[in-house]
Homo-oligomer: A and B are copies of this chain.
Amino acid sequence: MGSLQASAAMSALMGELFPICRSITGDGVRHTLEIIGRHVALTVHEVPSGTRVLDWTVPKEWNIRDAWIKDLSGRRVVDFRENNLHVVNYSVPVRARMTLHDLKAHLFSLPDQPDWIPYRTSYYNESWGFCLAHHALEQLTDNEYEVCIDSTLKDGSLTYSECVIEGESADEVLFSCHVCHPSLCNDNLAGISLAVALIEHLKSLPRLRYSYRFLFIPGTIGSITWLAKNKERLPRVKHGLVITCVGHGEKFTYKKSRRGDAEIDQIVQHVLTHGDQAFEIQEFFPWGYDERQFCSPGFDLPVGCLMRAPHATFPEYHTSADNLDFVSAKTLSGSLACYRDVITVIEENHTYINQQPYGEPQLGKRGLYAAIGGDSKSAERQLTMLWLLNLTDGRHTLLEIAQRAGIPFAEALNAARVLVHHDLLKPVVTGQL
């Protein structure tokens, strides 16, 4: 699939998913996964409420049909059907008539951003509430209101899904994204769309060294649940990235894994360094997205987080302004390209061994000067070959050689292929060292 097609497909998927009211459990997630499943093969898991998962317990399942605040005339002054952010996510059912004064304890708005509806949740503390634009809040008069939240909160299950693309090795690369946010776009429909596009990219490749596992999970409890049910699998996770906030912002942000020097950390930094956009590298810190679970000390997986503007650093975060207009198709495509480049390095970052390590091999007799010509680009390729021959002593990966030589990985890879073709390099077969 070309980039234009991928971009259009990502935009279309975001548009299709946007209206659905998702939460960490319930039919919104199921509906979302059903739509994603039309594009890529998903395995859907249902984990019953009450299941112990690590230190947590799968909560009751939440569903909602409707919610509103009506004035005395019966007019809906706040209406869930207009925007699903209007209801505090996981609100318990309520049907009551109350004064504005009493109601206000359940109303949330953003005085600094009076046109935007905030996004609020109350997953683990049973309560109810409405979110609304501050302008709308100010227009409420000192009368009684009728409120209704037609929700259910009862035993059910938590739903998440996986998509696995099998490669030559059972070693895995893990990608995860959130499916729990309702009508919010950069956080994280953009991430879902990028994940789907990345799966399609991987399936289009002629061979894969690693197996790839994509998690479509609700935030926090989703990764907790997946980790609880996959402890034996975790040693196979060689690299991982959390996909989020990939649709808005000029520059990239990479938050390193807890290890700080994992191969994925080296890879992403390399790709960003040789990309054409600004970027920022963050040391690991124990909050943020699901990397906080993957990188908890008992697991300590090599999982970073590759994003654009990080969560909570842009004003639209967790408000109705994080909508379809907020995400730029061009930005999202650029994010996809970056993830693709990361996958290229993951797949091709082998360790090679120089087969003629004593002195410099005579490149001329192999036509490796002639094959290259005399322009300055060719001279660079020549130097790349010399770097590879000098550092392929088994103690440097191809990425490390590219870093040392100060060249993009792709150029090192091209030179490696030429040298392998001439029997001057051999890759170390994974598992042999």
Contact = CB atoms under 8 A, between A and B. Distances in A.
Contacts of A56: 359, 362
Contacts of A364: 124-125
B362 A55 contact: yes
Copies of this protein in the assembly total 3
B55 A224 contact: no
Contacts of A393: 297, 300
A357 B360 CA distance: 49
Contact of A361 (B55, B285, B356, B362): B55
Given A286-B386, A287-B386, A358 B124 contact: no
B359 A55 contact: yes
Contacts of A391: 286, 297
A374 to B, nearest CB: 13
B365 A297 contact: no
Nearest to A54: B359
Contacts of A55: 356, 358-362
Interface in A214-272: 220, 223-224, 227-228, 231, 258
Interface string A121-147: 000110000000000000000000000
A354 interface: yes
A399 to B, nearest CB: 18
* Max chain B C-beta neighbours (<10 A), residue from A295, A296, A299: A296
Contact of A390 (B295, B365, B386, B387): B295
Contacts of A228: 358-359
A359 B296 contact: yes
A287 B354 CA distance: 17
A392 interface: yes
A390 B223 CA distance: 16
Contacts of A292: 360, 386, 390
Contacts of A359: 54-56, 223-224, 227-228, 293, 296, 298-299
A383 interface: yes
A389 interface: yes
Contacts of A231: 358
Contacts of A390: 258, 286, 292, 295-297
A295 B354 CA distance: 14
Contacts of A389: 286, 296-297
Interface string A295-339: 111111000000000000000000000000000000000000000
Interface in A346-383: 354, 356-362, 364-365, 383
A282 B223 CA distance: 47
* Max chain B C-beta neighbours (<10 A), residue from A298, A354, A362, A386: A362
A293 B360 contact: yes
A286 B387 contact: yes
A285 B361 CA distance: 16
A167 to B, nearest CB: 27
A298 B357 contact: yes
A356 B53 CA distance: 12
A422 B55 CA distance: 13
B357 A296 contact: yes
Given A297-B389, A300-B393, 4 more contacts: A224-B359, A286-B389, A287-B383, A296-B359
17 contacts: A54-B356, A55-B359, A55-B360, A55-B361, A124-B364, A227-B358, A227-B359, A228-B359, A286-B387, A286-B390, A286-B391, A295-B390, A296-B359, A296-B360, A297-B354, A297-B390, A299-B359
